[in-house]
Structure 1
Amino acid sequence: MTTLDPYLAARIHLLSGLDWDGIADPEARSRFDEYGRDPGEWTMPDVDVVDHAAPGPHGDVTVRVYTPPAPAAGALLWVHGGGFWGGDLDMPESSVVAAELASRAGIVVASVGYRLAVDGVRYPVPLDDVVAAWEWFVRERPAASPVCLGGASAGGALALAAAIRLRDAGSLLPAGLFLAYPVVHFPVPALDDATAAAMRSLPPLLRFPPSLIEEMFANYVGRLGDLPPLATPGHAPLGGLPAVHLVSCELDDLRPSADLLARQLAEAGVEVRAQLAAGMPHGHLNRTPTLDGVDRSLAHFAAGLRALNGAGEVPPDVA
């Protein structure tokens, strides 16, 4: 049975009657922030954090690098989400994820401060920034070091699109792809009946109705028709990509995109290691690992990263 995580379910009443249009109201914001409070206090792992400027076609791209003590040779370039129009390097989906994966996998992790689709910025500018950050990061790594690429939500789409662009250009491919609840199709396929029924009980702030998804892609690309394949990389050829470690959220209107991507990758001969974040809504990595669902997702990615460095076994699929 599809049910919301017990900790979140006990707090869901705080979102009752709220929507994004009214979230600026102080009382509404207070309730929203209280819902976002995690079970415990998160402490930054022992990692060094330094910002760098990577040159790109639209100007420098900020790359925030997280380095644990005595890191292994491997590395990960990580791309936050936010619907292509939101998010930054300080959000948990960027800062907490990067710090935790650097510490847990014992590798260098870099998070990309790509340009957002606001104030006239559109595709392919965010993608260009991610590719520029990748090229800079690879140049900074030791020769033959396994460098991976990953991201969450819209950042997962950007990471997948960057890997496809690199493949098509004959450039160095990531050693692995790590994608959290990526949204890589438009339109997004429909939910199965059981999940759709469970989703209907959730408040608007945890939903992604078709109108919002349409607005997101229209803003990113500037139109809804004839979308470039790399704007919605689930529609691009997927063969020849490295193994993909995929985390999807159980209670997520966007989950069918991740599920379809897994089937498409397998059909194209790409290895997929998938984990379903049980009871989690979309964007759960914007919380900290004091919440069990976040901890399990980070553990799945960290195990995959360690395996690429010969420091452990590839994690099994978990449904």
Structure 2
Amino acid sequence: MTARPEPLLRIDGAALAYRGARALEGIDLALGAGETLALLGPNGAGKTSLMRLIAGRLGPAAGRVRVAGADPHRSRAARAVIGWVPQEIALYPRLSVAENLSVFAQLAGIARRERGEAVATGLALCALAEVAGRPVGLLSGGYQRRVNIAASLMAGPRLVLLDEPTQGVDLHARAAIHAVLARLRAAGTALLVATHDFAEAERLADRVAILAQGRIVVDGRLADLLARIRADAPEHEVVLAAPAEPDAEAVLRRTGFLPRDIGSIWRATRLAGPALDGAALLDALRASGVPVTEIRIRAPGLEGVYRSALSGIEAGAGEGRAS
């Protein structure tokens, strides 16, 4: 029987604290070559702290982190395996794209005679050749984010950490960034992508980890997580012509709906009361004074997995407070 290869990234029981306050606790995680892991969680859950821990910027207070078998906080060789793409654009705006990449190649310890090849590889991987000579500060946000990714690739990392890589970009730029990540994955690079975008996570990830209150509360293959939730009843979403008045809001909540945004869209993962088809539900809500214009019925997605995980955490916290 062939032994399974050791994961490129392995975290066992890691904890992290800032000034005595817990940021992460009991983190167990593994990621293999060529895998993409989407890291989800609310603001303040510890996603960026976890990525800094993996990158070796911070050392764990307990447990251990290993990248390619070594501690990235202590081993320069382990850190050389990692590419870090921060949420902020960390580039020199007055330098051209190629000049930026050359600077980052130098910072990564690439010898002068090898920098040209490293820059050319980064330009090709991120489809930047047509803007190679343009100052970064004059590029669109989408192009700047692709240069940000390319800068992290100068040393040919085997693990790339990306913190909200498509934040604030349009659909065309998002598709271009996704194409970059697909090329990296096809080359065998392991990717860890922190994102708030469920559609992005479903498109990119093999696996999903959900972080809440400094702990991983869900970790599994995306296909398995979706299959589990889709075994339940389909989701229902109602679109309102106007924000719900108090009486209409009460009807929606009694039926199992919760607001998805400010007033106009409400969603139910499980309806309360008798089973109704879409037409019957539409009639019943309208008869109760709810200004419904449309009902959508669909199989639950990753957002449903996320909401279910967080609702369990909130319920547990509530029980803890009650006791």
Report the TM range for the smaller structure's normalisation. under 0.3
Which structure is larger by alpha-carbon Rg, 1 or 2?
2
Higher strand share: 2
Give the alignment's TM-score, normalised by structure 2: 0.27
